[in-house]
Structure 1
Amino acid sequence: MSDTTKLKAEILKAIAQPTRLKIIEFLREGERCVCEIFPAIGEEQSNTSRHLNMMTASGILSRRKDGLKIYYAINHAEVLIIVDLAATIMMSEITKRHEMLKAV
């Protein structure tokens, strides 16, 4: 497996987890403080921080500190395209399965 294939897999892995997807959706509107993120997604602060750190390390998110507050933002707008494409595929599959069930 090539290094570029491994890096692509790491980026997709960084997105492909329910809590991380909730964070990405919450950050869709722009930069937010970690103090806003964990209550908004309904997760514990320690769990949220672990996911934020993982996505920051993979380049999905950027982080900046302002005084005592830490702010996160989506580092590449293309991440939202990937998430939106996944939603499109999901809806297509739901529709296809629904049609199959109606035919039974």
Structure 2
Amino acid sequence: MTGLSRPLYQMKADFFKTLGHPVRIRVLELLSDHEYAVSQLLDEIGVEPANLSQQLSILRRAGLVAARREGLSVTYELTSPQVAEMLAAARAILTGVVAGQAEALERLA
């Protein structure tokens, strides 16, 4: 079954599965600010190089990030500003959820 013949809801589910790893989310959050070399991402995220490489590969295959070689270094950037917008929307939703939970706890106390 090709991507075009799959229902949109299935494609969305696969897209969100791609986002379902904390390292991938952290990479996307960092790249929302500016591009990063792999060495900089390693410093910021603090995972093993093989783990980061695997997560970057998944994000690249999903079309969320693009890589560019500069000499011996590889630099990553988001493929679309909409990725950063999606992360900001998720942050806003979660902030509201947490605030709602805190209010519910206060009412119980």
Q: Which residue of 2 aligns with 1:19?
A: 23
Q: Give TM-score, length-normalised by structure 2.
A: 0.86
- Kept in 1, the 8 Å contact 2:32–2:83? The answer is no
User: Which residue identity lines up with residue 54 of structure 1 in the other structure?
Assistant: I
Q: Which residue of 2 aligns with 1:42?
A: 46
Structure 1 CA distance for aligned equivalents of residues 86 and 20 of structure 2: 10
Structure 1 CA distance for aligned equivalents of residues 106 and 76 of structure 2: 45
Give the Å deviation of 1:4: 3.0
* Cα shift readout 1:10-33 (whole Å, capped 9, x = no counterpart): 222222321111111111222111
Structure 1 CA distance for aligned equivalents of residues 8 and 61 of structure 2: 17
| Unpaired runs of at least 5, structure 2 | none
| Unpaired runs of at least 5, structure 1 | none
Give the one of 60, 82, 90 matched to 1:56: 60
- Count of residues in correspondence between the two structures: 104
Structure 2 CA distance for aligned equivalents of residues 10 and 61 of structure 1: 16
* Cα shift readout 1:7-61 (whole Å, capped 9, x = no counterpart): 3222222223211111111112221111111121111111011000000000000
Same amino acid, percent of matched pairs = 24
Aligned CA RMSD, in angstroms, stands at: 1.6
